[in-house]
A and B are shown apart, each in its own frame.
Chain A
Amino acid sequence: MITAPSQFLTANVELQKKPIFLVTISNYSRVFTNYATGIAGQYDWIDSFDDVTLTVSEFDGGSDLGGFNFTVQDFQGLITADFPSIVFEGQAVTLKTGFVGMNQSDFLLLFTGVIDTVASANGNLSYTFNCIDTSQILTKVIYTAGDDGFATSKDHPRTLNGHPLDILTAALINEIGLDSSAINLTKINSYRDGLFIAQQFSFTIESPPQAKDFLEKQILKPLGGYLWTNNEGKIDVNFFYKDVRDSVLSLNDDNMVGVPLAGQTDLLNQVSYRFDQQAGSSGDFMTEAVQNYEASIDLYNQYGQQIVESAGMRAGLQGVFLAVMVSNVFFQRFGLKNLTFPEVIVHWSACCVDPGDIIDMSSEFVPDRMRGVMGISAMLFEVFDRTWDLNNGLVKLRLVDASYLSRIGTAKVAPDGTPAWTSASGSQKATYMFQCNDSDKYSDGANAVKLP
């Protein structure tokens, strides 16, 4: 969820509103808008926007932010006249949005990137600025020096041993050269110290890889996550395994445009993790952990497989544990041909939603195949693809069932001295984890607390 000023959030609740967009280019005096703001230096010359689409490849560890393209009228040839004094290509660009009457300091930052190209349009009466996000830098080849300082090769390997998310951060900063402020370290470190705490990978690199390929396939994919670029232009991460499970937005028949067409996820009930890669020319994976979702297999008698080949995972470093854990969240989302919406069109009030966010949906027009009825209520979904239709003020989302999150627990470790279940207070029972019998009950017959 994009962090937004409270004034923006308040105004954004309204369903009927006109978004204002501000495009700012570094080292350039003109700010382009789609609305006459009356502010000096701001020019309402924007003709149109292309949709801004972020497509997530959730099984491949990556995503693609298709770019931010906007077309500006060359009013009285003034932009043409600016060209001799500025090189647009490479300049930083930001896109902010707000509403009429709102202080621009409360506008929401939607996009941060750089200008890639500037093309003539509309019979040379306009210019289309094509902007890209910072992930382009991930095409750089990294780990070019082996441990001994020579060029990385079979005889001069580069070894990496540590937490995979520390390896990710180190690669972004030390190998690619990003400033730490260009990385969402807060989220990365929260996962490193949270759900993925104590995970360890060990690589022996004998050929320098491209950063994007290495980070996506060798770090994010094994962890059940993906790289993406957030609104601040920071390299960010999302994982299937959630440490934040609260819904950030409630969708209903009022704020959705039309009825979303329900679909089924592609079946995924087998995950093959291959790891313990041998150093040397063979590169064989010595361990393969195949996880089966038996409930799904029994139900459909069909198979859908995901293969993860990791050069850094080691069985001796809880590689199997990671395979089981990540496979479990895959199965929960995709193992039962879960409900998915390839495209849900929502009013602009959903503009703050980010990929990876959990939202809930209630609609009487959506079938619930599990229960065999029409209508779902406050069902949890995870956001994957997101498109901003800036021209029409709409947001399009691809959603995948995340309802399993509502079935897992939130219990905490109990302080010493906490009494046994039968003597515990209601508050303690609601807060802490208690051990149960093999029938998943306590001695008084109460159902056991669920594990987070």
Chain B
Amino acid sequence: MPPILLTQIPGFANLPDSVFDANQTAFGAMIARVSENAEFGMVNIEIFPDMFGNGDTVPLPVSPIDGYVYSRDELLYIWNPDLSTNKQTGWIESGSGSLFFCAWYVDQSTGQVYSLEWYRNNGSGGSRTQTNDGQIHVYTIGQRQRHNIIVSPTPSFNAISEGNISTNQPLTQSLGHALNGNAKFGAINREVFYCGEFVNGQTVSRSTLTSSYDGYEYNYSECKFIACWRWTTQGSTLVQPPEDYGQLGPFSWSINSSGAVTVQVITNDNDGNVTFPSGYGRISVFAFAVRSATPGSLSRADSFAEVLLQDFMPGGTERASNVLQVKRNADEAVLTPEFFGPTDYGNGDTIPVPTSPVDGYTYDRSELTYIWSWSNTMNYTGNGGRLPVFYGTVNQSTGAVAINCWHLGSHYDDPYNEYCRITVVTLARRSQAPISHPVGADAQSPSDITSSTLQQEASLSQLYMVSFDMGGGRDTAPATSESLLRHIIPTNIASVTFEQDLPGAAAACRVAAADHQQIVIYKGTEAIGTLDFTAANGLVGSFTFSTTVAFGPGDVLEFVANASDSAVRGIYFTMPGTRA
């Protein structure tokens, strides 16, 4: 369908039903006001997505439907740091380590965008870098005259038989009341609220879900919540995390069906341990609300068309075609826009095209706007690891979700993108005029990422390698229960940590196994992993290391042969860790 374009900007008026009481003068102006309300319902909520950076101010948007210029007090701003990277370089400042803490914000009264991203290097006293990296996706929600419209009493929706709208039919009291009520209801039955800022354990108050139009207080069940990250540090106050909290790990939020907020921020301390600071993280919450009085089923409502006000001026006539169009416009306004979600998606997912549960209308991609937020930046197995970079996008044309949360172990990589999640609310508008769906500047990971961006002091001096080689002269395989290597952590090192899955570890042999040679890795007497050589893998060995393990001074790392393969010879490996 062609996009909806209006030649006249519609507005709202709280027209009482009494103007359509029997024997009241049937002013054309009153039908015109109803028509205005119906059309107003089609434009009352608009969304304008765009990308911004720190210091930018979101401009006043102009409606692509009718050219309406919004004023600042009609706007809400939902934001998401789609990319944590610097827009110019596409990456983080070389040598700055990993994210330390972040704060993002769009001032609801001025539209000013803030992005504060601190980085920190490993270890006690690691250097810290303050930046304004980050590319902020701002979804500007326009709600016309949202502070000024007054509606009383609360209107309701009543089905109208189109049989009563045809040539020769009278303009009756019931028809007038229903048209008026439906048009007003369609103008106010959907709202978007800014609910305030929250920390873990708090609950979104229903008082923040109260309509300024008529005081209607929405139930939680009528709302779809989405959150914007305010900051990742101490929830109550924006302050630098203490030294011993180390670097930023994954952070996540969720809001349940009762408005209860859960916020979690994970950090990696200076010893490489995962920590869970209490009360960390702060979010802003927005609600997309639809009144439960919205009809559960309607005939297909997709035939909106502008009705010119001049058609109702004194001296004209009341054409059934105009009245019918007003009715149908009100029907569609009741469903405009529709909100779908919130739904969590992972990397590689595709957001499906929604179908209206009310009238079965199936939306086209071009009619959708995906409002998404990082709900979990998990970047590794278990409780995750240091989070240096994250970025993502939702392809407007396909709904494809591509999200990356990098991990800093011994080096920068992102092989664990299946763990991170975004939460998406889809705003759907039928016959939507084309709107721009910008994406941020691409993240540009350096090709030699492991060496060029790893801070030298932080990387080389703190790597900890455990190497072993049986040599090429031995002509027997390891015997069952043979201790191939015992390695004791020196006492001048605070700790050594071997990350889950041992990123970077490598193992090989000079002669392949005939069947299977397994070596068990112990921390003291506790088995913590294995190294396996199989006939199928030939000369390459593979580690299994399911969880991150930290060693202290004097702890012993031991490699013990399990079963003995008759053929394998000359095993050697390097197992990297990090020391503190």
Contacts and interface: CB of A to CB of B under 8 A. Distances in A.
Interface of A: 161, 195, 197-200, 202, 276, 278-279, 286-287, 289, 314-321, 324-325, 328, 404, 407-422, 424, 428, 432-438, 440, 442-443, 448-452
A418 B169 CA distance: 9
A452 B28 contact: yes
Pick from A200, A317, A413, A438 the residue with the most CB of B within 10 Å.
A413
A429 B79 CA distance: 59
Contacts of A442: 167-168
Interface residues of B, number: 58
A270 B144 CA distance: 28
Interface of B: 8-16, 19-30, 32-33, 36, 40, 68-69, 71, 74, 144-145, 148-150, 165-174, 176, 309-310, 312-321, 323
Contact of A432 (B10, B29, B170, B319): B170
Given A450-B316, A451-B315, A317 B12 contact: yes
A432 B11 contact: no
Contacts of A316: 9, 11-12, 40, 68, 74, 144-145, 148-149
Contacts of A195: 27, 29
Contacts of B28: 451-452
B24 A412 contact: yes
B317 A436 contact: yes
B148 A161 contact: yes
A427 to B, nearest CB: 13
A202 B170 CA distance: 36
B169 A420 contact: yes
A451 B318 contact: yes
A286 B62 CA distance: 10
Contacts of B9: 287, 289, 315-316, 319-320
Contact of B13 (A200, A286, A424): A200
Contact of B68 (A315, A411, A417): A315
A413 B24 contact: yes
Contacts of B320: 435-437
Contacts of A279: 71
A422 B166 CA distance: 13
Select the residue from A316, A404, A428 with max chain B CB neighbours within 10 A: A316
Contact of B15 (A197, A404, A411, A421): A197
Q: 3 shortest A-B CB distances, which residue pairs? A: A451-B28, A318-B11, A316-B145
A289 B11 CA distance: 13
A286 B312 CA distance: 26
Contacts of A438: 319, 321
B145 A317 contact: yes
Q: Which of A278, A324, A418, A428 has the most C-beta atoms of chain B within 10 angstroms of its own C-beta?
A: A324
B305 to A, nearest CB: 14
29 contacts: A161-B148, A197-B15, A198-B14, A198-B33, A200-B150, A202-B148, A287-B69, A289-B9, A316-B12, A317-B12, A318-B10, A318-B33, A319-B11, A320-B11, A324-B8, A325-B309, A412-B23, A415-B172, A416-B22, A416-B174, A418-B170, A419-B170, A420-B169, A421-B170, A440-B319, A443-B167, A450-B316, A450-B317, A452-B25
A422 B170 CA distance: 11
B170 A434 contact: yes
A408 B26 CA distance: 11
Given A314-B148, A320-B9, 11 more contacts: A315-B11, A316-B144, A317-B145, A318-B10, A413-B172, A414-B170, A414-B172, A415-B22, A416-B22, A436-B318, A438-B319
Nearest to B164: A435
Nearest to A422: B168
A410 B71 CA distance: 40
Nearest to B21: A413
A448 B317 CA distance: 6
Contact of A197 (B11, B16, B170): B16
Nearest to B68: A315
Nearest to B43: A316
B569 to A, nearest CB: 82
Contacts of B22: 412-416
